Amino acid sequence: MSDLPQLVLNGLMTGSILAIGAVGVTLVLGVLRLLHVAHGDTMAFGAYAGLFFTGLVGDNLAVGLVGAVVTSAALAVLVEYVLWRPLRRRRAGMVGLLLSSIGVALVLRHVLFWVAGADPKQYPVDLMRVYEVGPFRLAQSQVLALPVAVVSILFVGWLFSRTAIGKQMRALSDDGALAAVAGIDVNRTIVVIWILSGALAGLAGVLQGLVQNSFNPNLGFQLLLPVFAAVILGGIGSAYGALAGGLVLGLVMEVSTWQGFLGGVPASYKQVVAFAVLILMLLLRPQGLLGKARLR
C-alpha cells in the first residue's frame, strides 16, 4: 500500500475535485432549495464533452477542458430555463424539485449511455508515465489535473470574495429575501449561479475522468454522494465551506486507507468513509464546518 505523503497528495486531488463539484451544489441548494441530484450526471456530461472536444483538435486537452466547461454551463442554463424556472413559477415544493432533478439525472445519464456507450473511455494521456517529485509519485493525468484544480479553486475563491457577482451569489444564498430587498436581480443571479455550477461540474467531470484513467457514464453518480457530503461538511449554502469541505473529505477518504491508521480501511470502502463522515457531521455539527448555527 502507499505511504502517507502519497495518500495526502491523492487526497488533495480527490478533494479538489469534490470541492469544485460541491460549490455548485451548495449554491443551488442554498438559493433554490433544490437538492440537485443531476449534478453528478452533469459532471459525467462534462467528462464526455471534454473527451469529444479533446479529440476534435488533435488530442488537445486544453481545448477539451474549455469545451467541457462551456457546454456544461450551457446545459445547466438550458435546464434552468426549460425546467427550474417554470417549476418555481408553479410554486413547486422541495419534494417536487428533488424528484424532478432525479428525473433530469436519469435522462442525462442514459442519454450519455446511449450516445457514448457503456464501454470505459479514456483521455489521451500516457498511463505508464510516472513522475517522481520528492516523496510523491505522480501519474501524468495528475500532473495535468492538479494545477488546473488548484487554479480553479483559487479562482472561485477570488470570485466570491472580490467580485460583485460573487458577493451577490453569496448574499442570495445566505438570505434570499434580504438580498432581493437590497436590490439584487434574483433571476439574473440565479442564471449566473447555474452558469458557475454547470461550468464547475464540467471541469470536475474532466478532472475526474483524467485521474480515474477510464470512466463510463456512471462517473457522475459515483461522485454525487461524496459531493453531497462535502456540501454538508461545509455547511449548506456556504461557497467557501464547500471548497473546504471537499478538500477535507478528499483527504479523509484517501488517508483512511493508510495502514498506519489502525491498519487502514480497505480501498473499496472509501465511499463508505465519505458517507460515514456525512452522517457523523449531521449528528455532531449539522451547520457544517464553517456554517453558522441556525435554529432549523
Partner 1 sequence: MTEILDPQFWFFVAVTAGIYTILGLGLQIQFGFAGLLNFGHVAFMAIGAYTMAILVVKAGLSLWVAAICALVVVVPVSLLVGLPTLRLRADYLAITTLAFAEIVRYVATNEDGLTGGSQGTINLSGPGTTASYNREWLDFVEVVQGWLSPILGDLASRDFVSMLIVWMIALVAIVVLQVLVRSPWGRVLKVIREDEDAAAALGKYVFRFKQQALAIGSLLAAVAGLLHAFQFSFFSPADFVPLVTFNVWMIVILGGTARNWGVPVGAVVFAILYAGTRFLDFAPFSWLDPDERAYLRMIVIGLALILLMVFRPQGILGRRDEMVME
Alpha-carbon distance of 23 to 151, in angstroms, equals 15
Question: What track of x and - describes contact with partner 1 for positions 256 through 275 (by CB under 8 A)?
Answer: ----------x-xx-xx--x
Q: Which is nearer to partner 1, 118 or 127 (CB)?
A: 118
Which grid coordinates are listed for 171? Answer: 448574499
Q: Is position 99 an interface residue for partner 1 (rule: CB under 8 A)? A: yes
Shortest distance, position 2 Cβ to partner 1, whole Å: 20
Sign of torsion over alpha carbons 228, 236, 287, 89: negative
Among the listed residues 57, 62, 78, 102, the single contact to partner 1 using CB under 8 A: 102
Q: Which stretch binds partner 1 (CB under 8 A): 14-22, 95-103, 155-163, 183-191?
A: 95-103
CB 74 within 8 Å of CB 198: yes
How many other β-carbons are positioned within 10 Å of the β-carbon of residue 264?
A: 16
> Which residues are paired to 121 by β-bridges?
215
Alpha-carbon distance of 257 to 287, in angstroms, equals 27
Report the half-sphere exposure of 197 (CA within 13 A, side-chain side): 35
Which grid coordinates are listed for 276? Answer: 460515514
Alpha-carbon distance of 215 to 47, in angstroms, equals 9
Question: What track of x and - describes contact with partner 1 for positions 115 through 134 (by CB under 8 A)?
Answer: ---x----------------
Question: What track of x and - describes contact with partner 1 for positions 28 through 47 (by CB under 8 A)?
Answer: -x---x-x------------
Q: Which is nearer to partner 1, 4 or 276 (CB)?
A: 276
Which DSSP helix (H) or strand (E) runs through 274? helix 270-284
How many other β-carbons are positioned within 10 Å of the β-carbon of residue 285?
A: 14
Q: Which is nearer to partner 1, 29 or 149 (CB)?
A: 29
How many other β-carbons are positioned within 10 Å of the β-carbon of residue 44?
A: 31
Among the listed residues 228, 240, 244, 258, the single contact to partner 1 using CB under 8 A: 228
Q: Which stretch binds partner 1 (CB under 8 A): 50-58, 100-108, 125-133, 247-255?
A: 100-108
Which residues make up the interface to partner 1 (CB under 8 A)? 29, 33, 35, 83, 86-87, 90-100, 102-111, 113-114, 118, 225, 228-229, 232, 236, 266, 268-269, 271-272, 275-276, 278-279, 282-283, 286, 296
